[in-house]
Amino acid sequence: MYTQRFGNKYGAKKTIFNDRKYDSKYEASIAQELDLRLKAKDILAVEPQFKIEVWCYREDGQKAFKVSHKIDFRVTNKDGSYTLIEAKGVETTDYLWRRKFLENIWLPEHLDHTYEVVKQSNNWRA
């Protein structure tokens, strides 16, 4: 695992694991854990940076705007269901807004998906 020297305003440092760049060391450590679970055949597949798009419509039926969100990992379980995993250090207001859209609009339409937020426990800002 390779980590850059300086981080962003939240202290997250871009990290490379298995030739893939992650936004933080914490996210890379989750990727490492999922890689071990994949090798142990506990899960079927891992898809990093899974993109979700939700269109919002006006009352007259016209498209108003699109909400996009990239989930850190989509894990395919043995039973064919999916788990969306979000590695979080600092929960910003933008993230909380997108999470509400995901939980209230996207997830009820995709019943085979579950959503899990893994919070960083040693975050000094929390």
Q: Tens of pLDDT along 9-60?
A: 666 777 778 878 887 888 888 999 999 999 999 999 999 999 998 888 899 9
Percent of the chain with pLDDT over 70: 87
Q: What pLDDT score was predicted for residue 123? A: 53
Q: Write down the domain spans for the chain.
A: 15-117
Label residue 85 exposed, middle or buried (CB < 10 Å: 0-12, 13-18, 19+). Answer: buried
Radius of gyration of the chain (CA): 16
Q: Which two tokens stand for residue 58?
A: 């006006």
**Of the options 3.40.228.10, 3.40.640.10, 3.40.50.620, 3.40.1350.10, the CATH number for the domain spanning 15-117:** 3.40.1350.10
The strands making up 20-22's β-sheet, listed across from edge to edge, are 2-3, 15-17, 20-22
The model's confidence at residue 2, banded by pLDDT at 50, 70 and 90, is low
Q: What pLDDT score was predicted for residue 55? A: 85
Q: Which residues, other chains included, contact 118 with Cβ-Cβ below 8 Å and sequence gap of 6+? A: 30, 85, 86, 87, 88
